[in-house]
Amino acid sequence: MKFTAELVHKCSRQLSSCCSNIINSQVRSCHTQAAPTIPPCSFTPPPYKGPSLDEMKEARKTRLTPALFTFYEEPLIIHTGHQQYLYDDDNKRYLDLFGGIVTVSVGHCHPKVVEKMQRQAGRLWHTSNIYLNPTIHDYSKALTDTLPGDLKVAYIVNSGSEANDLALLMARLHTQRFDVVTMRNSYHGASPYTMGLTGSGKSKFPLANGFGVTHTMNPDPYRGPWGGYRDSPVQSLRAGEATLEEGGTVCSSSRKYLQQFQETLDYCVPQGKPAAFFAESIQGVGATVQYPLGFIKMAFEMVRDRGGLCVSDEVQTGFGRTGEHFWGFEGHGVIPDIVTMAKGMGNGYPLAAVVTTPTIAQTMAKAFHFNTYGGNALGSAVGLAVLETMLEDNVQEVSRDVGTKFILGFGKLRDEFDSIGDVRGKGLMIGVEMVESQGCHTPMSLARFSAIWENCRIMGILLGKGGFHGNVFRIKPPMCINQADVTFALEVFRVALTTDRELHCKQQ
C-alpha cells in the first residue's frame, strides 16, 4: 500500500473519529438515553478534496498570524454550508448554532443571495464611488428605510471595527469634544481606535489605546451587585433582588447603575460632557449580557442632557436577531444618533455601515473622506439581496418564535441542572452561563465546560462560547433554524449536561 498524504490524513481522521466514538460511548455509558438524531436534510454536499488537516495546521503555523485560534481540541475542517448546517471533511453534518460568529443571518449559501451575487459578479464588481452606479443607491435607500426617525444617511464600510471607528470620529467632530464612555465587558472591535472602546482587558494589547475613553460599570443583572429584571423570556435567578417600577418598564437596579454612570461622567469626563456614549443593545462577545430594564433609556437621556451623542452598536443585535424588533435598540425604547452595523448585514460577505442623521453626517463633508471598497457594486448587491431575503423569509419572526422557544427550553434545563447559572437573551441571541453550582456562581472550570462543548460537537451541534470568564455558551444561529433543530439541540444539551453531572458527581 502506498503511504500517501491522503491516506495519512484519512487514518488520522479515522483515529480522531475513533476517539470521538470513545467519548461518545462515554456519553452513552453514563445514562440510558441514546445520542439524539439531527433533523433530516435532503442536501448532499460535494466530497471534500482539499488539503489534509496536517497540511492546514502547518500552513496556519507558518503562513498565517499566530494570533489565529481554532475551536475544538481537533480543529474542524468545514468545507460546505447549507442553510443552518455545516459539513466537515467527512461530510458529517452539524447544526450551526453560532453562524460564523453571529454573521450568517439568512442561512449559509442562501440561493436567492447566491443568485443575485452571481448576477452582479458577472456584470460589475467595483468602480469606487467616483462614478454613479445604481447598486449603492438602491441599497442605501432600502437599508435606511428599516431605521426609525432621522436615521437616514448611510456610510457603507467593510467591517464592524471600521464602522465604530467612523462613528467615533463623527461623534467627536460633531460635538467638538473628545471623551467617550463605553461599558465594561463591551466589545466594539479590534482596530487601534476600537480596541480602546472595547471594555475588556483580554482584547487589548499593551500599548496606548483608549485615549479619551472611559469604561463605566457594566449593568449586569446576573453578575453585578444588584441583580435585576431584563427584557428576556427567562429572568436571572437574581432578578428578585430588585423590583419593577413604572408599570414594569424600569427595574430598580437600573437606577443604581445609573448612579454609577453619572459618577463616571462626573469624575472621568471633562466637565462631565462626553462626545458620545457607545452601547451594544445586548452585549455580544461579552456573552449576551442584557441590561436591567430602563437602563439604556435613562443613560441615553443623561448623555443627551449633557450634549453628547448616543451610539448603538448593532453589529450583533441588528437585522431582526432579537426577534421583537428589527433593531436591538428599539427594544430599549430609544432612537440613537448613530447606529453601527455589520455581521448579519452581509450574511458573511464583508459589509458594514454607519447610519446617522443628515445633520451629524454633514460633519464628514468638512474634509476629504474616502473608503475605497465601501459600498462597492458587488457588496451593495449582496447587502440588498440579504436585506430583501430577510424581509421575504421573515427572519425577525423566526427569531422571535423559534428563539423564544429555544430560550424557554434552556430555562427548563436550568431548573434541572445546577450547572446552568443563567439563561438569557432575546430572539436568536442566547447566552447560557455555566457555573460550578447555582448557589456559588463560580464560573464552571474550563475542563468541565470544554467537555460539554466537545460532546455537543460530537453529537452534531456547533456552539459559540465567550464571556469574560469563558464560561458562557453563545447561541446565535442563522435565522432560518426551525423547531425541529431547537428540539434536537436541547436534547443534545440535556445528554451533554447529564454526562457532565454524572462525571462530576463521581469525582466529588
Ligand X SMILES: Cc1ncc(COP(=O)(O)O)c(C=O)c1O
Interface residues toward ligand X, by CB under 6 A? 159-161, 164, 187-189, 280, 284-285, 313, 315-316, 342
- Shortest CB 251 distance to ligand X, Å: 23
CB of 199 to ligand X, least distance (A): 11
CA distances from 474 to 208, 283, 457 (A): 31, 11, 14
Please report how close the Cβ of residue 138 comes to ligand X at its closest, in angstroms.
23
| Contact between residue 349 and residue 118 where contact means Cβ atoms under 8 Å apart | no
Report in angstroms how near the CB of residue 189 gets to ligand X at its nearest. Answer: 4
Q: Which is nearer to ligand X, 256 or 465 (CB)?
A: 465
Q: Which three cell numbers stand for residue 242?
A: 430588585
Give the nearer residue to ligand X in terms of CB position, either 196 or 284.
Answer: 284
Q: Closest approach of Cβ 343 to ligand X, in Å?
A: 7
Residue closer to ligand X, measured from CB, 102 or 497: 102
Minimum CB separation from ligand X for residue 500, in Å? 28
Q: CB of 25 within 8 A of CB of 35?
A: no
| Cβ–Cβ under 8 Å, residues 150 and 354 | no
Contact between 298 and 265 (Cβ < 8 Å) = no
How far apart are CB 188 and ligand X at their closest, in Å? 5
Residue 301: HSE in the Cβ half-sphere, 13 Å Cα cutoff: 8
Residue 339 CB, nearest distance to ligand X (Å)? Answer: 12
Q: Which is nearer to ligand X, 233 or 284 (CB)?
A: 284
Task: Give the sheet arrangement for strand 276-280, strand by strand.
Answer: 153-157, 352-356, 338-341, 309-313, 276-280, 180-183, 213-216
CB 475, min distance to ligand X, A: 15
Task: Give the separation between CA 329 and CA 337, rounded to whole angstroms.
Answer: 11
**Residue 206 exposed, middle or buried by CB count within 10 Å (0-12, 13-18, 19+):** exposed
The percent of the chain in helix, strand and coil, each rounded to the nearest 5, is 45, 15, 40
Asked if residues 309 and 335 have their Cβ atoms less than 8 Å apart, the reply is no
Name the residue nearer to ligand X (CB basis): 159 or 252.
Answer: 159
C-beta of 212 vs 350, nearer to ligand X: 350
Comparing CB distances to ligand X, the nearer of 158 and 363 is 158
When the beta carbons of 288 and 455 are compared against ligand X, the nearer one is 288
Distance CA 43, CA 161 (A): 35
By beta-carbon proximity to ligand X, the closer residue of 189 and 233 is 189
Provide the minimum distance between the beta carbon of 283 and ligand X in the complex, in angstroms, as a whole number: 8
Nearer to ligand X by Cβ, of 374 and 409: the residue is: 374
Q: Single out the residue of 377, 364, 344 nearest to residue 140, CA to CA.
A: 377
Position closest to ligand X via CB: 160
Longest Cα–Cα distance of the chain, Å, equals 78
d(CA 278, CA 469): 23
- In order, the DSSP letters of 266-299 are HHHSGGG--SEEEEESSBTTTTSB-PPTTHHHHH
